[in-house]
Amino acid sequence: MATITLHREKLRYNFDRLDYLFKSKDIHWSVVTKILCGNELFLREILALNPTQVCDSRVSNLRMIKKLNPEMETIYIKPTPKRSVSSVIKYADISMNTNIETIKALSEEAVKQKKNHKIIIMIELGELREGVMRENVINFYKQVFELPNIEVVGLGANLSCLFGVLPNTDKLIQLCLYKQLIEATFDKKIPFVSGGSSVTIPLIFKKMLPAGINHFRVGETLYQGTDVYKDEKSNLLEQDVFTLQAEIIELIEKPMVPEGDFGTNLEGESYQIEENLIGKTSFRAILDLGILDLDRVNIFPKDESIGYFGSSSDMIILDLGENKQNYKVGDLLDFSINYMGALRAMNSNYIEKRVV
């Protein structure tokens, strides 16, 4: 068996520290819940923190959130698929959008459902993921403001998720200036500039965050306790909010070099023999966990003497060396796990979920 565990007190600690930080700067923030993959047990822990907003990239996850707390304000944080318009209107109070035809469809559906739907329009700032091109922003907003049952409550941008383009003062000032330009051009008030995410938090401490950035969407720093800008641990937050355990299902001393004619493995890789390992042996532990569940580069044994040997679809093989720790079949090995590892593990039906 394998288990991913959410540590309640560490989550609470990180939430409280971030909440204090944002409130002290008069910044609104939304908890990103996509890492939880709609898991009811874990979502209850998030909602128990009493966040102001939660946001997710899957409508099914927002549906679960609304089931658990109908009053929770929800944000759908990627461009709406046209085939999901009805569900987005039903389960998302706010959605982030970049396509005028999609927003027209949201408007029509909002009229049908007798709802007022709020939107944040995303602007391209160089990351080349979602976002309206800057030269088209004014014309885009002009069309949106004419649509019924649609309320523009913000403009935003995404950085660092695709190519790792980091936020900086200049880019975020651009975002604030677009807000001022749109408000002056159309005589409309836009409450939020959603330019913040986990990677932007260090700019607050450096006093480099433009005053107009007043909305953050935070996931990784909350769950991992990381300074995403530097890709390192934060000394202000708890790490290991998520941990992983996996059971040893075989442990045998075996040669360190495979024997036979070599083709490619299931990932299309060809094995290269290391001549210095021929004739040597080590203890190999097979875990009840595999590529189907997560990528081994995203998990880190608590016992640093353990090495990696290989993976298949549903098994990971570790090198225990001489097994001085005297591990045996049935033992559980403990791992730290990064954001992508937790996301993959949460999405696996074969990994048990628990809260402590």
| CA gap 354, 39 in Å, rounded | 10
Contact between residue 249 and residue 287 where contact means Cβ atoms under 8 Å apart: yes
| CA gap 39, 192 in Å, rounded | 29
Contacts of 179 (CB under 8 A, 6+ apart): 155, 190, 193, 212
Question: Which residues are the active-site residues?
Answer: 34
